[in-house]
Structure 1
Amino acid sequence: MYKVKVHRDVEKFLNKIPKRDAERIREKILSLKDPFAQKPKKVEGETDVFRIRVGKYRILFFIDEEMKTVVVSKVDRRERAYDRL
């Protein structure tokens, strides 16, 4: 099992979107305690950044194997998720 850390910008974003969407995303983030069970896809052009899809949103994260930690760095709509990684 991995620890899951969430960047504060992600929390701010989740507070701005519809509650139903935010709840679904939070559930998916909690499930990242076992990140490989989610079958994440690597983000093209990035070395260690993974993504998972939750409806029209994307959760971007990286895995620190040494610290056994998943760091959720960004959540956004698909159109904007890959801007300024």
Structure 2
Amino acid sequence: MKFTVSLKKQAIKDLKAIPLSDRERLIERISGLENDLAGDVKKLTNHTPEYRLRSGNWRVLFEVEQNAIIIYRVVHRKEAYR
């Protein structure tokens, strides 16, 4: 299934604060979400946003609505589930 990926303002701000090498890897992984939810994607329980993508020590928190993926945050793993 093909998805449209969009980032909220906070997600863009989060990405700018991440070191360049990690940021490039994260952008590559986020781009991969357009094709399908493959990779290390997990549906979260009792948490909003509903999904997370794991990439090293970083977590991409997002929701899926129809054919769109909305990315809310890109945070370090120790801050992701607070």
**TM-score bucket of the superposed structures, by smaller chain:** 0.7 to 0.9
Normalized per residue, the structure richer in helix is: 1
- What is the deviation of 1:39? 5.2
Q: Which residue number in structure 1 is paired with residue 59 of structure 2?
A: 58
Distance between the aligned counterparts of 1:42 and 1:77, measured in 2?
18
1:6-85 matches, within 5 Å, as 6-38=7-39, 40-46=41-47, 49-65=50-66, 68-83=67-82
Q: Which runs of 4+ in 1 moved over 6 A?
A: none
Name structure 1 gaps, 5 residues minimum: none
Q: How much identity, in percent, do the aligned residues show? A: 31
What is the RMSD of the two structures over their aligned residues, measured on CA atoms?
1.6
- What is the deviation of 1:7? 1.0
| TM value normalised by structure 1 | 0.84
